[in-house]
Amino acid sequence: MIITRTTVDTQKGPADWFTGDVYIDAVAAPEATSTFAAALVHFTPGARTAWHTHPHGQTIFVTEGVGLCRREGGPVETLRAGDRVFFEPGENHWHGAAPGRFMAHVALQQNDESGSPVTWGRHVTDDEYDATGEGA
C-alpha cells in the first residue's frame, strides 16, 4: 500500500474566476510530459464559475449536492451527484451550485502548449444564472 500525504492546503477560489465562495483541492497536477490536471471543487449555495473555455475540453463529475451548468447559447442544466458533463474544447460555459444547495465536483482537464488549462471570461450575471426560474 502506498499513501501519498497531502502537502497542499485547500485554496479559496479567486474572485476573478468565481462568484461566491468556492474552495479547491488539487487532485493531480501536470508532471514530466503529462498535461493532465484534476481538482476537487466545492461550491457554496449559489456560487459559480465565470464564463470560461478549455483548450482541450473539460470533464466535471459531480460528487455531491445539486449543481447547475450552462454552455453559451444553451439552457441551464441541473446536475446531481453521479452526473458527468464534458464541455467541448473551446466551448464557452459555466458551472456551479444550485440556489440553496452545496455542490462538489471533480474537474478534469489538460493544459495547452503554454501550460494553461483554461481561459477565463466575464462573470455570469444573476439573470444568466437564474435562467432556471428557481431564484438565486
Inside any domain, residue 17: no
Inside any domain, residue 97: yes
CA angle in degrees (0–180, nearest 5) for 77-119-124: 40
**Lowest model confidence (mean pLDDT) among 4-13, 18-27, 124-133:** 124-133
User: Following DSSP, what letter does each residue of 102-127 receive, concatenated?
Assistant: -EEEEEEEE--TTS-S-EE-PPPPHH
More confident residue, 68 or 3: 68
What pTM, to 2 d.p., does this model score? 0.90
Instruction: Say what percent of the chain tops pLDDT 90.
Output: 80
Residue 71 in contact with residue 53, Cβ under 8 Å?
no
CATH of the domain at 116: 2.60.120.10
For the chain, state the CA radius of gyration: 15
Q: For 26-53, how does the pLDDT look when each residue is reduced to its tens digit (9 = 90+)?
A: 998 888 888 999 999 999 999 999 999 9
What is each CA distance from 62 to 7, 15, 52, 80, 90, in whole angstroms?
A: 24, 22, 18, 6, 21
Q: What is the predicted pLDDT for the residue at 135?
A: 45
Inside any domain, residue 79: yes
What is the domain extent for residue 92?
22-124
Rounded Cα–Cα distance for residues 1 and 44 (Å): 34
Rounded Cα–Cα distance for residues 112 and 43 (Å): 26
Q: Which three cell numbers stand for residue 45?
A: 449555495
Inside any domain, residue 3: no
* Total tally of structural domains belonging to the chain: 1
Q: What is the predicted pLDDT for the residue at 28?
A: 87
Which amino acid, residue 52? Answer: H
